[in-house]
Structure 1
């Protein structure tokens, strides 16, 4: 049997599982996008909190970003999944109600969103600091309200500055979704591993997973490049105003 025929036969085995692999692929996308939304929300709140006049709020934000960024992803995943379930069991037991089970998907979204919210916070904070202070001060001097200044001047520019960091965090977040298979989520990786083991072709199935993730990251990069051009319209490159 030639090498080409052997490879073809291996990928024919993958086609036998194409339906459940596709479902796992879609679940991975859903997990990634939902986690991203949570991470962005937490990141924005943490970034805004870092500018607060309250020492308690600033200290809480600093503790959040420092602790979360210093703990391995897999440790946080296990801690959230098993720890939250244990805590929830104790609460339901004390209240004499039926046990509530946390699904791997909810645990995955919560963990990944919480983890990457800390990284997003630094990206958003840097983006807000990158907007020249003079523009905000000038707008306020012209009589614009602080809210209008934020939404018309500061935030649109901050988005442009935040996009590169947001893109990097999204790509890392997307790859981190593969870790959720360790707590029982039937995602792309989990289904590929089980399918590959059942037909004794794990390498071929994992190659399929690698190609799938490569497609997702490539599409993401294209979308972000388009967004960068969209938010850079009217910007004079190399010109800065203080």
Structure 2
């Protein structure tokens, strides 16, 4: 028997769509930051190592909720100044943009360590073989290193994405109407917290299962050529 949602079904569906958009936006940013952070930490140059290490240490040392609040409220004066410069004094960072940046920043810090571990797991001889064949550093990275690094890092990145999807609930504190925010509104109106929080839990669980299936398919595809070579 389906629960009575008191007409909040479409609102919860819209919140689910917003959660998916937020998670994918943060994932896109986080993957870029994580890759750059890993390249910096494995660089032979000390300043880059320091930058990469500082980024992953500082971001991982502060709770995600605080990053959400700091980015959302800390950019008020900056955005206002930019708005006045461009003739729009009401310019501000939206809750969606702030949430995407905050979660992407945090995801990237953890992904930095995942990518770094994957890079270190690749034998140095593969790069040396590329140099022997006369390949440029860029071609060596994208054609030889990147596919192997992606295969090794994929399980860890998948786990981080599961956490990221649940962390999207934190963005409700700055007013973004994702699943938790929509559920809270429904609870306030209907006075049935158990029903709507249970529905929210089911939605998060469903998204997690879908993500797990997608991750499994990606892992099989990434390991396809590797398994043939090992056979």
Instruction: State TM-score, norm by structure 2.
Output: 0.92
Unaligned 5+ segments in structure 2 are: none
| Separation of aligned partners in 2, 1:135 and 1:97 | 53
Alignment of structure 1 residues 43-58 onto 2, 5 Å: 43-58=34-49
Q: Which residue of 1 aligns with 2:80?
A: 89
| Separation of aligned partners in 1, 2:41 and 2:76 | 31
| Separation of aligned partners in 1, 2:6 and 2:130 | 60
Matched residue count: 230
How far does residue 131 in structure 1 lie from its aligned partner after superposition?
Answer: 1.2
Q: Does 1:108 align with 2:99?
A: yes
Q: Which residue of 2 aligns with 1:4?
A: none
How far does residue 235 in structure 1 lie from its aligned partner after superposition?
Answer: 2.0
Unaligned 5+ segments in structure 1 are: 1-6
From 199, 203, 211, give the equivalent of 2:190. Answer: 199
Q: Which residue of 1 aligns with 2:51?
A: 60
Instruction: State the structure with more CA Rg.
Output: 1
How far does residue 214 in structure 1 lie from its aligned partner after superposition?
Answer: 0.5
Instruction: State TM-score, norm by structure 1.
Output: 0.88
How far does residue 75 in structure 1 lie from its aligned partner after superposition?
Answer: 1.2
Considering only aligned residues, what root-mean-square deviation do their CA atoms show, in Å?
A: 2.1
Map Cα deviations across residues 179-216 of structure 1 (whole Å, 9 max, x no partner).
00011111111011111221111111011111111011
Q: Does 1:212 align with 2:209?
A: no
Alignment of structure 1 residues 132-211 onto 2, 5 Å: 132-211=123-202
